């Protein structure tokens, strides 16, 4: 308990400093100044609290890594420290300055006839009200929200505006996920990933929604406060799985690359699916409320249209901004100035988020696909310095943001004023979250295995089921709206599910991997390419006799896209060969000439380092070249290059601080 003691002492010191300092001032102006300063100091103290928590987490993670302890992961640690500090704040301190509030009514002279409340109030103290010097003064107040229960507890500090999660914390995490996606294996497993993420998450949401609704009917005091839409919303927000914890463990242990791709790809995409899905459910609910009641087919299809429309438009904006950045970095020589280049990169990526949000689309989805495009195209145009800068920057931002969010989940369990502990709902929530995950993984794997050549073995399915930790996205969605009792119960349940899955499942992952005989310590470069087919086949079918299947069995979709990408997108957006002059029909010659840089024309076929995931369309390109009678590339050399790049991306992508080959 030395840590706890230390925290307590530090806190007392800081608190005593700021309490001692705040006892001066007599006149109102000075009191107001002092009040503003007090609030500023409280804000600083809040931020300091989380900074301190993060420092503590960093130091403990280091100790754990140093001593090779694996029973607790960094996110688990952040949560636990958060819980401890939250409890200390809750029970260790009594807030001495309760917030003063005052009921007011409209002035008699005002003729306010709008249907919405005003944005600002001007409070004038008449002669007979208020003490001291505030008589005859006017103060401005800004709108905050509707009050449902007048006996609501005081908003404690140490909690943040939920919008901060959406606008500041999530974007770098999601962008980083896209930017560090292992695209080679991602595209190889594209079909399965899309199936799990798009269809699976929706199935999971509906299964959880239905089961929860059925459960709630059994518990009398809950059945009145939840509608089916409420439980469906809960289903949507608890369905997305969290990439952070599990992936950093996988990375640590060098788990089989295909399992890695499945888990990571699914959990990155289902965050995007869940946020759009929950938005559509809310839209449906709004239309539903304003209508007659009962199931409304029109509203349902509108909501479905919303889902498809918002998702694809956001995807389009993200991809477009990624491509614009690629064009900017290709056709200007901004790469001569790495600082300018990386600033441009960061600004373009953040503006993607903002453009999507400003157009009422989903910034998270846009920024995810922007990240994927930036990695796929722009990354290849960047100067080596900028590559490293951008990787390092987003890696650090991601690290800080994810640990902040997990500390916050811990602290807010105690300090957030709008928790509602309902044992029945919590129990039902845990059970349904498990069942929902199962309803995603097992039936879809069965269907996938009907068509898929390297089948997904039962052990892999168990691991996929087990990898369904809940994390930041669930929490962010849950805390966004906490006005009703129902929503508060959802927040509490979600927080508990996140905390327990992160600590328990995260801690037990290593154990489970060995129970399920998942290959670990896989050396990706060697296995991934030269003995690719055999090993993958082995590990996927788990025990069956290896056949001579083609190494790169790909879905038709992936093939078509890969071909298009190599022939048109990459030559347009990067400096890669073949150029558009070679791939476009002859009639487009002049256009192709404009869009092809001298660098692209003159670069040496052998020495060029093209991009980080070209393996995924290797044969296509090979065929392409033969057809066009271009001299074949020196395979070995090129492969090495690509692998270096990809390995590089992978290491920094997830957890740069893991020394390679720890096993």
Task: Choose, by CB under 8 A, the member of 31, 296, 582, 647 that binds a copy of itself.
Answer: 31
Interacting positions 174-213 with a copy of itself (CB under 8 A): none
Is residue 163 within the footprint of a copy of itself (CB under 8 A)? yes
**Options 1-9, 141-149, 444-452, 581-589: segment touching a copy of itself (CB under 8 A):** 141-149
Judged by CB under 8 A, the residue of 271, 395, 565, 643 near a copy of itself is 395
Interface size with a copy of itself, residues (CB under 8 A) = 120
**Beta-carbon-side half-sphere exposure of residue 511 (alpha carbons within 13 Å):** 10
447 binds a copy of itself (CB under 8 A): no
Instruction: Indicate which single residue of 94, 131, 450, 545 sits in contact with a copy of itself (rule: CB under 8 A).
Output: 131
Residues 6+ apart with CB under 8 A from 46: 157, 158
Q: What track of x and - describes contact with a copy of itself for positions 45 through 84 (by CB under 8 A)?
A: x-xx--xx-xx--xx-xx--xx------------------
The CA–CA distances, whole Å, from 663 to 75, 251, 254 equal: 22, 11, 8
| Chosen residue from 192, 222, 334, 610 binding a copy of itself by CB under 8 A | 334
Options 39-47, 405-413, 435-443, 580-588: segment touching a copy of itself (CB under 8 A): 39-47
Scanning 82-90, 126-134, 468-476, 614-622 for contacts with a copy of itself by CB under 8 A, the matching segment is 126-134
Tell me how far, at minimum, the Cβ of 13 lies from a copy of itself, in Å.
9
Q: Does 313 bind a copy of itself (CB under 8 A)?
A: no
Q: Are 478 and 494 in contact (CB under 8 A)?
A: yes
Q: Which residues neighbour 8 within 8 Å (Cβ) at sequence distance 6 or greater?
A: 88, 92
Please report how close the Cβ of residue 518 comes to a copy of itself at its closest, in angstroms: 25
Binding piece for a copy of itself, criterion CB under 8 A, among 20-28, 449-457, 520-528, 552-560 = 20-28
Candidate ranges 173-181, 285-293, 551-559, 614-622; the one touching a copy of itself (CB under 8 A): 285-293
Rounded to a whole number of angstroms, the minimum distance from the CB of residue 280 to a copy of itself is 15
Asked if 93 touches a copy of itself (CB under 8 A), the answer is no
Using CB under 8 A as the binding rule, whether residue 3 contacts a copy of itself is answered as no
Contacts of residues 487-492 at CB distance under 8 Å and 24 or more positions apart, as own/partner, are 487/230, 488/418, 488/419, 488/420, 489/222, 489/420, 489/421, 489/422, 489/425, 490/230, 490/233, 490/234, 490/237, 490/425, 491/416, 491/418, 491/419, 491/420, 492/419, 492/420, 492/421, 492/422, 492/426
CB of 248 to a copy of itself, least distance (A): 11
Task: Please list every residue from 103 through 122 that binds a copy of itself, using CB under 8 A.
Answer: 103-110, 112-122
Question: Closest Cα partner for 470 from 267, 200, 209?
Answer: 267
State the minimum distance, in angstroms, from the CB of residue 22 to a copy of itself: 8
Axis-axis angle for helices 228-238, 485-500 (nearest 10)? 30
Task: Give the number of C-alpha atoms closer than 13 A to the C-alpha of residue 658, restricted to the C-beta side.
Answer: 24
**Do 433 and 238 touch, CB atoms closer than 8 A?**
yes
Regarding 229 and contact with a copy of itself (CB under 8 A), the answer is no
449-468 binders of a copy of itself (CB under 8 A): none
Is the CB of 146 or the CB of 604 nearer to a copy of itself?
146
**338 close to 383: Cβ distance less than 8 angstroms:** yes
What is the C-alpha to C-alpha distance for residues 116 and 451, in angstroms, rounded to an integer? Answer: 56
Stretch that binds a copy of itself, among 204-212, 395-403, 430-438, 448-456 (CB under 8 A): 395-403
Residue 448: asked if its preceding bond is cis (omega within 30°), the reply is no
Site for a copy of itself contains 124 (CB under 8 A): yes
DSSP class per residue in 39-71? HHHHHHHHHHHHHHHHHHHHHHHHHHHHTT--S
Site string for a copy of itself, 623-662 (x = CB under 8 A): --------------------------------xxxxx---
The only residue of 68, 101, 627, 661 in contact with a copy of itself, by rule CB under 8 A: 101
Cα gap 81→137, rounded to integer Å: 46
Length reported for the chain: 663
Q: What is the largest CA-CA distance in the chain?
A: 95
Please state, in angstroms and rounded to a whole number, the distance separating the CA atoms of residues 283 and 306. Answer: 8
Exposure string over 226-263, b if 16+ CB within 10 A, otherwise e: beebbbbbbbbbbbbbbbbbbbbbbbbbbbbbbbbbbb
Residue 550 contacts a copy of itself per CB under 8 A: no
Shortest Cβ 506–a copy of itself spacing (Å): 18
Region of 97 (left: φ > 0; alpha: ψ -120 to 50; beta: rest) is: beta
Does 290 bind a copy of itself (CB under 8 A)? Our answer is: yes
Q: Which of residues 338-367 bind a copy of itself (CB under 8 A)?
A: 338-344, 346-348, 350-351, 354-355, 357-360, 363
Task: Give the tokens for residue 616.
Answer: 């995924």
Which C-beta is closer to a copy of itself: that of 307 or that of 616?
307
Q: Which of 3, 9, 19, 26 binds a copy of itself (CB under 8 A)?
A: 26
Give yes or no for residue 399 binding a copy of itself (CB under 8 A). Answer: yes
Residue 400 contacts a copy of itself per CB under 8 A = yes
Smallest separation, CB 305 to a copy of itself (Å): 15
Task: Choose one: 80-88, 327-335, 606-614, 623-631; the region binding a copy of itself (CB under 8 A).
Answer: 327-335
- When binding is defined by CB under 8 A, the residue of 28, 159, 225, 517 that contacts a copy of itself is 28
**3 state DSSP class of 124:** strand
């Amino acid at each position: 308990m030395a840590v706890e003691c230390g925290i307590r002492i530090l806190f007392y010191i800081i608190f005593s400093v700021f309490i001692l300092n705040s006892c001066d001032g007599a006149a109102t102006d000075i009191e107001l100044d002092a009040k503003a300063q007090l609030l500023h100091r409280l804000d600083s103290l809040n931020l300091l609290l989380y900074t301190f928590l993060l420092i503590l987490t960093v130091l403990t993670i280091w100790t754990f890594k140093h001593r090779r302890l694996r029973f607790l992961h960094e996110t688990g640690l952040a949560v636990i420290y958060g819980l401890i500090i939250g409890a200390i704040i809750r029970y260790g301190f009594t807030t001495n300055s309760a917030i003063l509030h005052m009921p007011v009514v409209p002035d008699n002279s005002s003729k306010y006839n709008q249907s919405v409340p005003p944005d600002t109030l001007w409070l004038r103290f008449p002669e007979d009200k208020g003490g001291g010097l505030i008589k005859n003064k006017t103060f401005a107040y800004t709108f905050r929200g509707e009050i449902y229960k007048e006996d609501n507890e005081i908003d404690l500090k140490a909690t943040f505006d939920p919008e901060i999660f959406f606008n500041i914390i999530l974007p770098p995490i999601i962008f980083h996920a896209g930017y560090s996606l292992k695209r080679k294996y991602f595209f190889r497993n594209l079909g399965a990933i899309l199936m799990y993420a798009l269809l699976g998450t929706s199935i999971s949401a509906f299964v959880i929604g239905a089961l929860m609704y059925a459960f709630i009917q059994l518990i009398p005091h809950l059945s009145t406060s939840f509608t089916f839409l409420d439980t469906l919303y809960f289903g949507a927000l608890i369905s997305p799985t969290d990439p952070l914890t599990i992936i950093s463990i996988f990375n640590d242990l060098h788990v089989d690359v295909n399992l890695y791709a499945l888990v990571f790809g699914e959990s990155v995409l289902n965050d995007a699916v869940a946020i759009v899905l929950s938005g559509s459910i809310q839209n449906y609910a709004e239309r539903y409320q304003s209508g007659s009641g009962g199931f409304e087919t029109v509203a349902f299809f509108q909501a479905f249209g919303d889902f498809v429309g918002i998702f694809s438009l956001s995807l389009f904006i993200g991809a477009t901004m990624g491509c614009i950045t690629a064009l900017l970095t290709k056709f200007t020589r901004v790469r001569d100035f790495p600082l300018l280049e990386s600033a441009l990169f960061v600004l373009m990526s953040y503006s993607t988020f903002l453009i999507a949000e400003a157009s009422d689309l989903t910034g998270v989805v846009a920024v995810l696909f922007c990240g994927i495009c930036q990695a796929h195209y722009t990354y290849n145009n960047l100067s080596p310095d900028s590559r490293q800068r951008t990787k390092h920057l987003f890696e650090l931002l991601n690290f800080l943001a994810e640990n902040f969010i997990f500390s916050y989940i811990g602290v807010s369990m105690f300090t957030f004023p709008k928790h509602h502990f309902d044992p029945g709902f919590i129990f039902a929530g845990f059970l349904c979250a498990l069942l929902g995950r199962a309803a995603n993984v097992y039936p879809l794997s069965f269907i996938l295995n009907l068509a898929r050549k390297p089948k997904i073995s039962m052990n892999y399915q168990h691991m996929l089921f087990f990898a369904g930790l809940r994390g930041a996205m669930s929490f962010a969605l849950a805390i966004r709206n906490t006005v009703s009792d129902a929503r508060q119960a959802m927040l509490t349940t979600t927080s508990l599910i996140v905390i327990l899955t992160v600590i328990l499942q995260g801690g037990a992952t290593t154990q489970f991997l060995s129970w399920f005989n998942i290959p670990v310590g896989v050396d990706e470069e060697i296995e991934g390419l030269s003995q690719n087919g055999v090993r993958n086949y082995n590990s996927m079918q788990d025990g069956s006799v290896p056949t001579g299947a083609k190494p790169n069995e790909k879905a038709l979709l992936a093939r078509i896209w890969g071909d298009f990408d190599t022939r048109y997108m990459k030559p347009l957006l990067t400096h890669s060969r073949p150029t558009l002059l070679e791939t476009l029909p002859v009639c487009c010659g002049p256009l192709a000439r404009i869009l092809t840089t001298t660098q692209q024309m003159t670069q040496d076929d052998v020495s060029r380092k093209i991009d980080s995931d070209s393996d995924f369309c290797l044969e296509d390109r090979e065929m392409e070249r033969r057809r066009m009678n271009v001299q074949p590339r020196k395979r070995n050399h090129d492969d090495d290059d690509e692998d270096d790049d990809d390995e590089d991306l992978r290491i920094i992508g997830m957890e740069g601080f893991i020394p390679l080959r720890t096993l």
